[in-house]
């Protein structure tokens, strides 16, 4: 059986080595690339991200990748955005000013309104917002209240609450910790740094391609 190919979008921000290792662990062949033809030909795509929203979007524009991401959505290609990679899928972010995102998912990225210490760093639990939401998604067979690894100060607020796959509580505030829009997924946490549960999610993603 041929290993599925996963294009990891190389736009200058992200923990690409750990993502590549995790994908290979779950049986995929990873390709770090900003070549549009390679990205569009891959079985699936990962949009990683660690850093500032504004710089991330500037880099995507610099490498002419915004249209590529919209084309992926239009043709039904599967993608998972991680941390900043998820946030950039939305329309705007208020991180150090108001900045335009990809607009693939309607909504905004806002600073977490919590009294607890920011950034939110460490392990935290995910919950299913409604029964059955996780069926046939990357969270298939993931247990409620599983803990995953987070590093962030801002959080996504989608216009359509039905696109929220998981919720997480931090500092008295419940936020959307993952989203789904068709074949596009977004995770605020880092599955590649989340041990067995993160690998299970990535394996589900690969097996759904």
Q: Which position among 24, 120, 192, 196 bears the catalytic label?
A: 192
Q: Which two tokens stand for residue 95?
A: 């991180």
Could you please report the per-residue DSSP string of 99-159? EE---SEEEEEEE---SS-SSEEEEEE-B-SSTTTTTTSTTTTPPTT-EEEEEESEEEEES
Burial-class residue 133 by CB neighbours within 10 Å (0-12, 13-18, 19+).
middle
Can you tell me the distance from the alpha carbon of 123 to that of 195, in angstroms, rounded to the nearest whole number? 11
Known catalytic residue: 190? yes
Q: Which position among 58, 83, 99, 169 bears the catalytic label?
A: 83
Known catalytic residue: 66? no
Q: Which position among 99, 120, 152, 190 bears the catalytic label?
A: 190
Residues noted as catalytic: 83, 190, 192
């Amino acid at each position: 059986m041929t290993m599925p190919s996963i294009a990891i979008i190389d736009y200058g921000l992200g923990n690409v080595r750990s993502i590549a290792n995790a994908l290979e662990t779950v049986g995929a062949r990873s390709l770090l690339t900003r070549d549009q033809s390679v990205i569009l030909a891959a079985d699936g795509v990962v949009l990683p991200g660690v850093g500032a929203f504004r710089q991330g979007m500037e880099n995507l524009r610099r490498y002419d990748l915004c249209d590529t991401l919209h084309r992926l959505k239009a043709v039904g290609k599967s993608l998972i955005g991680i941390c900043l990679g998820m946030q950039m899928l939305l329309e705007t972010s208020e991180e150090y000013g108001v900045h335009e995102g990809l607009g693939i998912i309607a909504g905004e990225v806002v600073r977490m309104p919590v009294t607890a210490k920011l950034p939110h760093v460490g392990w935290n639990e995910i919950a299913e917002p409604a029964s059955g939401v996780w069926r046939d998604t990357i969270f298939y067979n993931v247990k409620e209240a599983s803990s995953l690894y987070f590093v962030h100060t801002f959080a996504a607020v989608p216009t359509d609450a039905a696109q929220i796959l998981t919720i997480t509580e931090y500092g008295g505030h419940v936020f959307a910790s993952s989203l789904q829009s068709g074949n596009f997924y977004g995770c605020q946490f880092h599955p590649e740094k989340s041990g067995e549960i993160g690998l299970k999610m990535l394996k589900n993603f690969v097996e759904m391609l």
